[in-house]
């Protein structure tokens, strides 16, 4: 595999554009607000005049990725770019509108709504490679990451664009009525992460299960990696604090970050943000990212991938 930079990402949340806007404590910073929306971007394209807000957020996020990393549309276009989409909430608004709007104005059908967002992105950037959507709740982000790495390691693509969109504003009453299932604030998110081949991806690991003891899963996943940091993503802060305490009791020297303390609830985007945060702020050789949704667990072991700019003097 080619040695290339893989950590190109763009993150927009209700806190602002970029990881630097995430607060130390989401609960304290929210000050009682239940939902933190992202302002709807204005995109000057007549083709998008009837696009949903989720589509506009996704296209704007990819545009920011290109701008931030000196890329252009041609760097994504064509059959060798894969699109992997993850969401637990971004199609709810279209479904809600279909169910409650007047029949004469309802535009989006509930069973096609999940395809709207990635469909508009692939059209906007002429992405014609492999495409799959994961809509399996908060664990969808790690499932999307696993699938993107699989496509890369099997040479099914030259690059994989992971896209995550979570929105709540249009259906605030729907989501906050289940407040005991999700901790507030609910934070809207648009995230894209561009992955390319790297030899270290050979050490990537993925596991999933239901109702299993998470400590046993962690024990197997650590596999002797002493310099591992654990990134923990749970649907509620209470569950996160409980699980973190159990992990620290078993492995007191391994640092554990509870992502939702910083981000609030971003559902499927939470573990992806957690990995990006840990890559930016820590120096562990490996990161073990764990996500739980109901009784289902997903877990990835993510290697620290070298930025070639830091290897400019390395003849290897």
The residue among 201, 220, 246 that closes a domain is 201
Is residue 58 within 8 A of residue 163, CB to CB? The reply is yes
Model pLDDT, residue 111:
57
Given a cut of 50, whether residue 129 has pLDDT beyond it is yes
pLDDT bin (cut points 50, 70, 90) of residue 215 is confident
pLDDT at res. 109: 58
294 and 211 belong to one structural domain? yes
Give which of 16, 22, 15 is closest to 278, Cα–Cα: 22
* pLDDT greater at residue 176 or residue 18: 18
4 pLDDT higher than 90: no
Asked if the model's pLDDT at residue 189 lies above 80, the reply is yes
Q: Is residue 311, in this structure, part of any structural domain at all?
A: no
CATH number at residue 234: 3.40.47.10
State the pLDDT confidence band at 313, using cuts at 50, 70 and 90.
very low
The pTM for the full model equals 0.90
pLDDT in tens, 50-64: 788 899 999 999 999
Domain extent, residue 104, equals 8-201
pLDDT at residue 308 is higher than 50: no
Closest-CA residue to 193 (of 11, 2, 55, 22)? 11
Number of structural domains the chain divides into: 2
Partners of 133 in the β-ladder:
85
Question: In terms of Cα–Cα distance, which of 35, 17, 15 is closest to 25?
Answer: 15
- The CB-based long-range contact list for 65-72 (8 Å cut-off, 24+ gap) reads 65/8, 65/9, 65/10, 65/192, 65/194, 68/8, 68/10, 69/8, 69/194, 71/8
Mean pLDDT of the region 286-306: 89
Does residue 213 form part of some domain? Answer: yes
Contact 138, 289 (CB under 8 A): no
pLDDT value of position 297: 93
Question: Could you give the percent of the chain with pLDDT greater than 70?
Answer: 85
């Amino acid at each position: 595999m080619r040695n290339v930079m893989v950590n190109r990402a763009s993150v927009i949340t209700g806190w602002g554009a970029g990881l630097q806007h995430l607060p130390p404590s989401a609960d304290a910073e929210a000050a009682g607000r239940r939902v933190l929306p992202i302002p709807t971007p204005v995109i000057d394209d007549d083709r998008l005049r009837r696009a949903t807000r989720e589509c506009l957020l996704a296209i704007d996020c990819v545009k920011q990725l290109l701008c931030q990393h000196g890329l252009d549309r041609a760097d994504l276009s064509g059959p060798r770019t894969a699109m992997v989409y993850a969401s637990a909430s971004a199609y709810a608004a279209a479904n809600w509108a279909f169910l409650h709007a007047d029949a004469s104005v309802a535009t989006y059908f509930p069973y096609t709504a999940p395809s709207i967002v990635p469909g508009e992105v692939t059209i906007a950037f002429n992405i014609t490679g492999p495409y799959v959507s994961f809509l399996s709740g908060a664990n969808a982000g790690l499932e999307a990451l696993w699938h993107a790495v699989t496509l890369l390691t099997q040479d099914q693509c030259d690059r994989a664009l992971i896209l995550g969109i979570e929105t709540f504003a249009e259906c605030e009453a729907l989501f906050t009525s289940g407040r005991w299932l999700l901790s507030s604030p609910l934070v809207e998110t648009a995230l894209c992460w561009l992955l390319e081949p790297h030899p270290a991806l050979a050490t990537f690991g993925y596991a999933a299960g239901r109702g299993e003891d998470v400590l046993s899963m962690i024990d197997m996943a650590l596999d002797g990696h002493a310099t591992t940091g654990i990134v923990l993503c749970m649907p509620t802060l209470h569950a996160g604090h409980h699980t973190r305490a159990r992990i620290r009791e078993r492995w007191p020297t391994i640092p554990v970050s509870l992502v939702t303390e910083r981000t609030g609830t971003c559902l499927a985007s939470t573990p992806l943000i957690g990995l990006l945060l840990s890559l930016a702020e820590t120096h562990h050789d490996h990161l073990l990212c764990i996500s739980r949704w109901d009784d289902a667990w997903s877990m990835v072991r993510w290697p620290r991938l070298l930025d070639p700019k830091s290897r400019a003097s390395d003849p290897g």
